[in-house]
């Protein structure tokens, strides 16, 4: 076979049979019957623990009481016995370092007996509560030196332990926080727990003002929608750029992309459906309430969404969802791509984080009811969101800033880098009335009559939805749509919880001691609208007109990670996190340093891949084709046939341009490596990479197909 063997063999292997969907016998054990089967849940604890111990664990898991260390041995013994009965041989303290991914170290339950004749299973309370990984081997942003290696994991009893199965066995996973020997935060989980504690305290102050006396713990909840791409793994392994960076650094647009708008909610291919069945089932075993699945807008793109959970548990589950999506893909001959923009020219992938506050006694605190204008409690909580997003919009942009998300934010399918709030017609009208002196009515929901006798009338919401808004009210929650598909949701949730705590604290301070509560509420909400109403925008967030209008309103437009990350160290942001004991100034500096370094490292890797592929695959393929054309032209000329050399000259010119672009990229790459300045990576290296890509993608449209070395967009996106 001439030309690219790997690409041809990838297509042949798919056509030879890997397109056949895997089959599983789900009917014998319905998914509902396996829900939570691999979770050390409250139901399991009730069965395995004494009533007194169970009562204490239940109170801790519901946030009603701190953990009582005197019950640790009994809980550990019950957890060990349960895990071993489920096939587990090892346990691990799973944690979430600032790499943004999951970390784990496995320890065996078994120790040899003194005489060496057998193995004894042991698992004590102190082992359950505390572990000790190497703190110098994970990013710390200067909090830990190489020779200062001690760090601790601390069991989080509010997030249930679970079992992950392997074809050869099973392991017990224990969710933990991760801190240094000096007590500084090195992970994603600890700040979430601290921010949830802060918002609970301030929300209860507000609820007391409304006369509530029986107030359960107020919990921040989250329901993140996860977008992802599936391509055949034969293509994946034939694309070194996908393998190394998660995105295609080269690739000409497919003739058919998403222009027909025929993918969104379309019929799910059988092979993909089989994959989705297994994903849902594996998530059900882990107690993850996967609810929705469908085709997304781009070809080869899909979405899964769970129902709402506690923000802490939802974050842990999000890591498991990403792991499961990738792991199960292998079983079906797929590769799952979670990069925010794996393919240029079509939609990228986000992770829309639906967020709300609520408790067991007062319910959802962002539920407006049928007459939101008279629902003063709701208006106070909604007003707190408006104020918080306005005051800390740069922080919200910073916590979604990554090299991958830069390719998506501000593009034509994702929220712009300008942080604004969509409230919808009904709530915007109510808050406009408040700004004008007092709300007296709400736009009704109404009924939608379709006009076909056999179809029912539909209850119609009082407001539309807005898919171009980065922070949108969607009925009884806010949806933060700017989060990237490959990101942990921890950072965004920490920011949302903490700014909400600050706003509720501010409002409570204004209302406490007021002789006329209703008048005081009207005054503080009017003040919020006058000062912060500029952040509300219900129009098209993708339009150029909005960019101009946002600038006139004074809203920041931080277009890149390099622009956005410094906001983490703004004085008001440091004061915010320190006041509510979520993160210290030193911890914030460490995070900013880590995220800045990760940005540079990501672009560095991508630049190396561009240079390597351009030199070893793109240039040789084009040169070979040029040689074939030149040889053919020479033969024709020798035979007396007149030939036109325009294509030869064009190819020679493009090869020269490609070589020049590679040299420019190499020079900028050397400068960036020498200076370690993120601005060089952003404003010098990335444009140089794009120039190489432009020429390479042009060549893809010229070079003979049998010589082109990389699987094409058309192949990867449409062969399933």
Q: What is the pLDDT of residue 558?
A: 95
- Specify the CATH class of 35-187 in words: alpha beta
Cβ pair 486, 338 in contact under 8 A = yes
Query: CA-CA distance, 157 to 344, in Å (whole number)?
Result: 43
Q: What is the pLDDT of residue 120?
A: 83
The label of the residue with tokens 């952040």 reads 535
Query: CA-CA distance, 265 to 29, in Å (whole number)?
Result: 28
Cβ pair 483, 400 in contact under 8 A = yes
Q: What is the pLDDT of residue 1?
A: 38
Q: What is the DSSP string of 145-213?
A: -TT--BEEEEE-TTS--EEEEETTEEEEEEEEEEEETTS-B-BSHHHHHHHHHHHHHHHHHHHHHTT--
**Per-run averaged pLDDT (10 residues), the chain, 720 residues:** 64 65 63 88 96 96 91 96 95 93 91 80 92 82 80 94 92 96 93 97 97 95 96 94 97 88 87 93 94 92 94 97 96 95 94 96 92 86 97 98 92 82 90 83 72 66 79 94 96 98 98 92 95 95 92 95 97 98 97 95 96 95 90 74 70 91 94 87 95 95 92 93
Burial class (CB in 10 A: 0-12, 13-18, 19+), 16: exposed
Cβ pair 660, 669 in contact under 8 A = no
CATH of 195-599, one of 3.30.590.10, 3.30.930.10, 3.30.70.270, 3.30.470.20: 3.30.590.10
CA 33 to each of CA 29, 39, 155, 395, 522: distance values in angstroms, whole numbers, following the listed order: 6, 13, 29, 43, 51
Residue closest to 242 by CA, chosen among 682, 606, 614, 619 = 606
Residue ranges matching CATH 3.30.590.10 in the chain: 195-599
The β-bridge partners of 305 are: 292
State CA 526 to chain mean position distance: 35
Cβ pair 392, 556 in contact under 8 A = no
φ and ψ at residue 624, rounded to 5 degrees: -65, -45
Q: What is the pLDDT of residue 2?
A: 46
Helix (H, G, I), strand (E, B) or coil at 376: helix
Query: CA-CA distance, 138 to 131, in Å (whole number)?
Result: 15
Q: What is the pLDDT of residue 570?
A: 97
The β-bridge partners of 68 are: none
Residue ranges matching CATH 3.10.20.70 in the chain: 35-187
What's the pTM value of the predicted model, to 2 decimals? 0.93
Tokens of residue 601, six digits: 């490292």
Query: CA-CA distance, 93 to 361, in Å (whole number)?
Result: 33
Other CB atoms within a 10 A radius of the CB of residue 112 amount to 10
Tokens of residue 219, six digits: 């919990």
Other CB atoms within a 10 A radius of the CB of residue 323 amount to 14
Residue closest to 611 by CA, chosen among 673, 691, 684 = 691
């Amino acid at each position: 076979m001439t030309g690219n063997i790997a690409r041809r063999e990838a297509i042949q292997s798919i056509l030879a049979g890997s397109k056949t969907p895997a089959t599983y016998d789900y009917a014998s054990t319905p998914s509902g019957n396996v829900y939570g089967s691999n979770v050390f849940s409250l139901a399991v604890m009730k069965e395995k623990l004494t009533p007194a111990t169970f009562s204490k664990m239940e109170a801790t898991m519901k946030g009603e009481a701190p953990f009582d260390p005197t019950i640790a041995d009994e809980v550990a013994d019950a957890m060990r016995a349960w895990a071993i009965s489920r096939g587990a041989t090892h346990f691990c303290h799973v944690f979430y370092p600032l790499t943004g991914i999951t970390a784990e170290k496995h320890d065996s339950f078994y120790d040899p007996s003194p005489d060496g004749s057998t193995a004894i299973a042991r698992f004590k309370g102190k082992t359950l509560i505390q572990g000790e990984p190497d703190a110098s081997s994970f990013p710390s942003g200067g909090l830990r030196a190489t020779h200062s290696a001690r760090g601790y994991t601390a069991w989080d009893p509010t997030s249930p332990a679970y079992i992950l199965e392997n074809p050869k066995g099973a392991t017990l996973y224990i969710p933990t926080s991760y801190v240094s020997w000096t007590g500084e935060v090195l992970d994603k989980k600890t700040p979430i727990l601290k921010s949830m504690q802060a918002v609970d305290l301030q929300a209860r102050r507000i609820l007391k003002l409304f006369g509530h006396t029986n107030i359960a713990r107020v919990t921040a909840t989250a329901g993140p929608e996860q977008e992802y791409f599936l391509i055949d793994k034969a293509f994946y392994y034939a694309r070194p750029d996908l393998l190394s960076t998660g995105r295609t650094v080269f690739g000409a647009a497919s003739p058919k992309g998403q222009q027909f708008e025929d993918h969104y909610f379309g019929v799910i291919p059988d092979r993909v459906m089989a994959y989705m069945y297994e994903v849902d089932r594996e998530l059900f075993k882990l107690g993850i309430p996967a609810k929705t699945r469908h085709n997304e807008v781009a070809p080869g793109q899909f979405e899964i969404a769970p129902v709402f959970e506690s923000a802490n548990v939802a974050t842990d589950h999000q890591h498991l969802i990403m792991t499961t999506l990738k792991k199960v893909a292998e079983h079906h001959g797929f590769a799952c791509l979670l990069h925010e923009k794996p393919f240029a020219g079509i939609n990228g992938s986000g992770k829309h984080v639906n967020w709300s506050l609520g408790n067991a006694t007062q319910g959802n605190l962002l539920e407006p009811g049928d007459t939101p204008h008279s629902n003063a409690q709701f208006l106070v909580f909604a007003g707190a969101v408006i104020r918080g997003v306005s005051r800390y919009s740069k922080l919200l942009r910073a916590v979604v800033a990554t090299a991958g998300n830069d390719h998506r934010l501000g593009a034509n399918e994702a929220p712009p880098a300008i942080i604004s709030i969509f409230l919808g017609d009904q709530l915007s009208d109510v808050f406009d009335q408040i700004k004008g002196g007092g709300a007296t009515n709400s736009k009704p929901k109404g009924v939608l009559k379709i006009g076909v006798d056999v179809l029912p009338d539909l209850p119609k919401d009082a407001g539309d939805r807005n898919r171009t808004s980065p922070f949108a009210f969607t009925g009884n929650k806010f949806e933060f749509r700017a989060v990237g598909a490959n990101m942990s949701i921890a950072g965004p949730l920490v920011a949302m919880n903490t700014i909400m705590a600050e706003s509720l604290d501010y409002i409570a301070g204004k209302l406490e001691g007021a002789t006329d509560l209703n008048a005081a509420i009207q005054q503080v909400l009017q003040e919020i609208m006058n000062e912060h109403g500029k952040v509300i925008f219900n129009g098209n967030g993708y339009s150029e007109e909005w960019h101009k209008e946002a600038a006139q309103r004074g809203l920041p437009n931080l277009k890149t990670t390099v622009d956005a990350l410094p906001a983490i160290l703004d004085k008001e942001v440091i004061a915010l996190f320190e006041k509510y004991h979520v993160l210290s100034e030193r911890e914030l500096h460490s995070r900013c340093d880590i995220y800045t370094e990760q940005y540079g490292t990501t672009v560095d890797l991508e630049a190396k891949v561009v240079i390597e592929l351009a030199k070893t695959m793109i240039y040789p393929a084009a040169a070979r084709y040029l040689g074939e054309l030149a040889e053919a032209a020479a033969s024709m000329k020798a035979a007396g046939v007149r030939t036109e050399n325009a294509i030869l000259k064009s190819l020679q010119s493009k090869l020269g341009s490609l070589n020049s672009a590679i040299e420019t990229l190499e020079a900028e790459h050397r400068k960036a490596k020498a200076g370690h300045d993120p601005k060089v990576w952003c404003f010098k290296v990335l444009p140089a990479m794009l120039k190489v890509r432009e020429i390479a993608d042009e060549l893809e449209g010229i070079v003979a197909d049998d010589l082109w070395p990389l699987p094409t967009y058309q192949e990867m996106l449409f062969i399933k």
